[in-house]
Amino acid sequence: MKNYILLALISIFTFSSCTKDDPTQELDQEQLNSATLIFTPVVKETKDGKATYTPMQGEEAHSIKFEAPTYLPPVGTHLHLHVGHTYKLELKTTDFAGRASEQTFLNRPENHQAFLLGAENTELDFVYADETNVGITAYITVKQEASVVLNYVMRHLRPNVKKNITAEDWNNTEYTKFTGDNDLDLKFEVHFVDEDHGH
Amino acid sequence: MTRITLIFINLFISFLSFGQQKIDISGKVINKETKEIVVHAFLKVGNQITVLTNHQGEFHLQDLPLGNLNLDISHIAYASKKISIDLSKDTIFSIELTPKSINLDEISIQKVGTTNTANTLKIEQRKESQGKNLAEVLADIAGVSTLKTGATIAKPMINGLFGNRIILLNNGTRHESQQWGLDHAPEIDPFAYQKISILKNAEAIRYGADALGGLVKMEPQDIVQNKLVAGSVNIGANSNGRGGFINTQLEGNKNNFSYRAGITGIKAGNLKTSDYYIGNTGKTELNGNILLQYKKNNHKIDLYTSHFGTELGIFQGAHIGTKEDIFARIAYGRPFENYDFSYAITAPKQTVNHQLAKLGYSYQIDNNQKLETYYSIQKNHRREYDLRRVQSDNTPMADIVLTTQQLEAVYKNRNTKIGVFGSLQINNNTSGTGTTPIIPNFDNHNVALFASHKINYGRHYAEIGARYDYKYFDAAGYRFAHDQLNSDGSTPQYLLKDRRDFSNFSGVIGNTLSLFQALTWKSNLALAWRAPSASELYSDGIHHGTGTYEIGNINLQSEQGLKWVNTITYKNQWLNLNADLFGQVIDNYIYSQPNPDAVKQTIRGTFPIFQYQQDDAVFYGLDLQAEVQLTQNWDYLLSFSSVRAKNTTKNSYLPYIPADRVQQAIAYNFLLRDNNSSYIKLKHQYQAKQSRYEANSDFAAPPAGYHTFDIIANTTWKTQQSRTISLLLSIENMFNTAYKDYLDRFRYYTHSIGRNTAIKINYTF
């Protein structure tokens, strides 16, 4: 009997370490490191009820980058978007290791949808450019002059929530009722101006 | 219940004095089944005299009056009995007691040590709460509240304290799991223990210094000694969650060997409030335990192993983002989505496994001295899953393994106890989660020496004890350097290595005064301390369940608590009253508080920062429990719990303190036949609103008070072979009241659960 007890004790001490493991550094794959919103002027043409968008020659793209620690653009940063123009809105993100990561939103379309808050339907038109309404690419058309703070929110939705969201919810200020959390929450200042606006 | 067989083995007349109408009685108390003597059985004559059988099981009572004599005989390991004798002459007789079997049997208020009072769950309470988790099982005791994280996770709270401040004593071993998390429920199967008690004072001397709040003591009963196979089968079903449970226990004895083995399975789906389902609130549980015992002469060896395994769903609507999300839900009052019933458990969820192995040895040196030792090893493996952005949802966000080894040796005699205790604890995060662990890897080693002594003076007792603890803490893990940036704009990490030592003295002094036979006053003053936990020191990350960013504080000092518990017990033929009046001051009380001026800006939005800090605090209150036998058939039970708590440094209220609670029940007891006992009970609970609350210290003010009503009917039949079968029907929250509880951390998102109809069958053989 004593031998069995001794054997059990030896086994326990042999197989159970008496000190912690050396910690392993994790690459935080869930965290995003930076985000960039790019606005490229495009020409919108509608044929048979279907819109097509082609790059506008000679026009430069505007971009805003959001970085740590504030994740806000530098003070005073603002965009001028012209009334009557259409822009291709693209999201680029990097993960913790600096790798491009915007594709991860498209990989799970049932869990992601972007909202662009801060503008009324009378001021801005927003069309999701991907079939699944994720919104890492979209086309926006400026409809009238305004100065607004836009808020691009990439919502990480809980299962079965996205079926209750339509494309018309793109600027729904009650987006929090679509249960989930935010993968991105980006705020920036924009002026919708006439084409002859000097500044 | 077993009837007392009174065997008159001898009738003698001796020293009969015609002029002195007084009678002497004496005899032995023996085990009805083994005929062994029963040592330390209590014999109580009416309400006046109590004697204890000696080491030969003998008793002797002198100068009793002629006439009818009522004797109450009780012992911790045997069923209590009452007998009535017509005394006309000196008498010698034996009393046979039946050992408590695997039945869930107990007594209500029981003496532990000399100055400490244990509140033990009654047999009816255990049967009524079968299939529930440990915290819910304990909630019937005055002074015990339940801190919930939704409908599936509950932690016990004693007099306003919870988590690491409460020791769970699992079959003599400290249950070591990751109690630091508010959403980490104890991994305990209540079916594995026939006796579950609460001790409200610090109990620091015997079981460890951390128990500022108290102790939950879970013990098995002695294994039945006269059968090779005995046992019980318990099955039940609940309408809410469409769940069920089954538990089987077997035990027996042959020669010097005894055994007990049990297995429990639980399955439930989505729970329902008064009018909607709460999505993803199912659970599965599979638990088992084996106890082997060998006794020979003065030696006793125990080997105990247990496994607890559970998978718990967590309401998806509560794992959300920023405070804007929380405020939107608070304003709406219920989930935005409608959920259907389902047994499926998806992320967010927890899977937890806890294994325990304990080897115990005790040696009875002589009638007065005993040596007890044990070694135990526990492994707690916790995996927490969430909806992930990149990885599969089947990859855990947290994967932590906590291994604890404990070794203890205690020498004790009738009045003195001296012991040494050591533990090695190792916490490791499993790599591959794709997230930086919220707490680092650590070693947590503890050595302690303790001694206590009891002093009898007249009918009173005093107790004094001291304990010295040394704790070594060594942590290592990668943390974020928030004040630095890499060239690519990312936040760098650094390897934190931190070692610290804690040492402290704890002490207890207590006194028990038997003011008169029915009234006892116990007073116990205990000094305890608690070193800060790893989460309080090092945590750093977003807590999705509350939408907060939690930051530890490596400058935290040990908490020191001084708790004074005064217990008044009054017991007569129709009233059993127990009142605990307590006061506790805690220096360096550690708590997590939002800083309204500080927010954590992330690319995902703005999160309020909760940072661990410490201040001095005071807790005080009253717990009252009364059982009144109104008539032969009617009983009334009343329980009142009240606690007040303040941060004395800042002169403010502390968060998550339970408001006053009243529980009452009226029961009608009756017999359908001679071999039957039955009752119908109506229970009412009133939970008051917590009005002692600091405005703007939480996302929402405490919810309104509420009333709930339960009705329970139970009938128990006993066969001639001492087998019993019980059938219990109950309706909890019978009026399907919609309510939210202040101590439920998911009250922002959902109501508490609604009506539940349950049926439970218990068969003992």
Write out pLDDT tens, residues B306-333. 999 999 999 988 877 777 888 888 899 9
Low-confidence winner among B275-284, B390-399, B641-650, B739-748 (lowest mean pLDDT): B390-399
Report the residue of B389, B435, B544 to disrupt the A interface, i.e. the one with the largest count of A CBs within 10 Å.
B389
pLDDT given at position B77 = 66
Contact B428 A24 (CB under 8 A): no
Q: What residue in A sits closest to B546 (Cα-Cα)?
A: A181
Å between B437 CA and nearest CA of chain A: 8
Low-confidence winner among A48-52, B38-42, B208-212 (lowest mean pLDDT): B38-42
Å between B47 CA and nearest CA of chain A: 50
Nearest Cβ partner for A177 among B328, B427, B474: B328
Q: Give Dmax (Cα) for chain B.
A: 108
Average pLDDT over every residue of B652-664: 94
Average pLDDT over every residue of B119-126: 84
Show Cβ contacts of residue B353 under 8 Å, excluding neighbours closer than 6 positions.
B187, B307, B308, B309, B379, B380, B381
DSSP reduced 3-state for A134: coil
The count of structural domains within chain A is 1
**For residues B559 and B591, what is the distance between their CA atoms, to the nearest angstrom?**
11
Q: What residue in B sits closest to A164 (Cα-Cα)?
A: B337
DSSP sequence for B327-393: HHHHHH-S-SS---------SSEEEEEEEEEEEEEEEE-SSSEEEEEEEEEEEEEEEEE---SSS-T
Q: Do B169 and B207 touch, CB atoms closer than 8 A? A: yes
In this structure, what token pair is assigned to residue B112?
Answer: 């532990």
B77 or A64, greater pLDDT: A64
B chain contacts of residue A25, beta-carbon cutoff 8 Å: 478, 493, 495
Contact B377 A159 (CB under 8 A): no
**HSE-up (13 A, CA, CB side) for residue B668:** 5
Q: Give Dmax (Cα) for chain A.
A: 97
Q: Is the per-residue pLDDT at B371 higher than 90? A: yes
- pTM of full prediction above 0.90: no
pLDDT given at position B604 = 73
Q: Is the per-residue pLDDT at A191 higher than 70? A: yes
Share of chain A above pLDDT 70, in %: 88
| Residue A54 covered by a domain | no
| Residue A91 covered by a domain | yes
| pLDDT band per the 50, 70, 90 thresholds, residue B14 | very low
Share of chain B above pLDDT 70, in %: 90
pLDDT given at position B620 = 97
Question: What is the bridge-based pairing of β-strands B283-296 and B153-158?
Answer: unpaired
Low-confidence winner among A80-84, B36-40, B83-87, B184-188 (lowest mean pLDDT): B36-40
| pLDDT band per the 50, 70, 90 thresholds, residue B110 | very low
pLDDT given at position B675 = 84
| Residue A21 covered by a domain | no
Is the Cα dihedral A29, A32, A38, A42 positive or negative?
A: positive
Per-residue pLDDT reduced to its tens digit, B175-189: 999 888 878 899 999
Low-confidence winner among A31-45, A151-165, B97-111, B246-260 (lowest mean pLDDT): B97-111
Q: Do B413 and A6 touch, CB atoms closer than 8 A? A: no
**For residues B384 and B139, what is the distance between their CA atoms, to the nearest angstrom?**
27
| Residue A155 covered by a domain | yes
- What DSSP character marks residue B190? G
Q: Domains of chain B (ranges plus CATH)?
A: 6-97 (2.60.40.10), 109-764 (2.40.170.20)
Asked if B331 reaches chain A (Cβ–Cβ under 8 Å), the answer is: no
Strands (E), A48-134: 50-55, 62-66, 78-82, 86-95, 112-117, 124-128
Gyration radius from chain A CA atoms:
24
Nearest Cβ partner for B485 among A26, A69, A178: A69
Give the phi and the psi of residue A176 in degrees, each rounded to 5. Answer: -65, -15
pLDDT given at position A155 = 92
| pLDDT band per the 50, 70, 90 thresholds, residue B101 | very low
Asked if A198 reaches chain B (Cβ–Cβ under 8 Å), the answer is: no
pLDDT given at position A146 = 92
Interface list for A 114-173 with B (CB within 8 A): 156, 158-161, 164
B chain contacts of residue A37, beta-carbon cutoff 8 Å: none
Nearest Cβ partner for B387 among A12, A32, A111: A111
Å between A138 CA and nearest CA of chain B: 20
| pLDDT band per the 50, 70, 90 thresholds, residue A10 | low
- What DSSP character marks residue B39? T
Å between B163 CA and nearest CA of chain A: 23
Q: Is the per-residue pLDDT at B6 higher than 60? A: no
Give the CA distances from residue B568 to residues B14, B217, B625, B708, in Å, rounded to whole numbers and listed in that order: 42, 21, 11, 29
**For residues B250 and A60, what is the distance between their CA atoms, to the nearest angstrom?**
80
Q: Is the per-residue pLDDT at B13 higher than 60? A: no
Report the residue of A18, A31, A160 to disrupt the B interface, i.e. the one with the largest count of B CBs within 10 Å.
A31
pLDDT given at position B73 = 85
Q: For residue A125, what are the domain limits?
A: 32-43+63-193
Q: Is the per-residue pLDDT at A16 higher than 70? A: no
For residue A114, the domain's CATH number is 2.60.40.1080
**For residues B543 and B318, what is the distance between their CA atoms, to the nearest angstrom?**
11
Show Cβ contacts of residue B399 under 8 Å, excluding neighbours closer than 6 positions.
B382, B383, B384, B429, B430, B432, B433
Interface list for A 58-77 with B (CB within 8 A): 66-72
Residue with tokens 């909760």: B610
ipTM, 2 dp: 0.80
